[in-house]
């Protein structure tokens, strides 16, 4: 009886892992396609921007324009390490900022450039259960 319960539990975990792996592969493919688009909008659509300020979105656009079209060699997904940049929590000009969605994983994008440039992104799932890149939004003013 114990063996049967263990096998059922393992099969359930395996099924969940395969579903997540398929979702992450799809997200990586969407990122590759957005990276090769002629405009920035497909890449912005991969971000969780709900609640982000206009200034944040404008800064993001500027940063994305520098990477848009760069040849991607590899996209990997990793567990979060607990580093401060993964949590997206900071204060700027007296305003406290936090993540637009809960960071769940880190996405490492390696570019096929001479200097082997890499970008790290915190990713999470939005309310529609879709993977998105985490952005920042104001939480409350710093008192």
pLDDT at residue 9, rounded to an integer: 46
pLDDT at residue 6, rounded to an integer: 41
With contact defined as beta carbons under 8 Å apart, do 107 and 123 qualify? yes
Domain span holding position 38 = 2-141
| pLDDT tens for the 143 residues of the chain, in order | 545 444 444 444 444 444 558 899 999 999 999 999 999 999 999 999 999 999 999 999 999 998 899 999 999 999 998 887 777 888 888 889 999 999 999 999 999 989 989 999 999 999 999 999 999 999 975 54
What is the tally of structural domains in the chain?
1
pLDDT at residue 14, rounded to an integer: 47
Q: How far apart are the first and last CA of the chain?
A: 58
pLDDT at residue 82, rounded to an integer: 84
What is the distance between the alpha carbons of residues 106 and 101, in angstroms, rounded to a whole number?
Answer: 13
What is the distance between the alpha carbons of residues 131 and 6, in angstroms, rounded to a whole number?
Answer: 30
What is the distance between the alpha carbons of residues 114 and 110, in angstroms, rounded to a whole number?
Answer: 11
Q: Two tokens at 35?
A: 């990276």
What is the distance between the alpha carbons of residues 143 and 123, in angstroms, rounded to a whole number?
Answer: 29
Which residue, 29, 142, 41, 35, is CA-closest to 95? 142
pLDDT at residue 20, rounded to an integer: 59
């Amino acid at each position: 009886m114990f063996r049967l319960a263990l096998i059922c539990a393992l099969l359930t975990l395996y099924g969940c892992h395969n579903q997540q792996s398929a979702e992450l592969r799809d997200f990586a493919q969407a990122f590759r396609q957005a990276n090769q688009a002629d405009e920035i909008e497909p890449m912005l659509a991969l971000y969780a921007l709900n609640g982000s300020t206009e200034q944040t979105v404008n800064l993001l656009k500027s940063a994305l324009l520098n990477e848009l079209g760069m040849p991607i060699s590899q996209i990997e997904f990793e567990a979060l390490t607990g580093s401060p940049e993964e949590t997206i929590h900071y204060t700027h000009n007296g305003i406290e900022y936090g993540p637009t969605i809960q960071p769940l994983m880190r996405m490492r994008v390696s570019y096929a450039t001479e200097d082997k440039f890499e970008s790290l992104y915190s990713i999470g799932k939005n309310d529609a259960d879709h993977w998105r890149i985490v952005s920042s939004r104001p939480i409350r003013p710093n008192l």
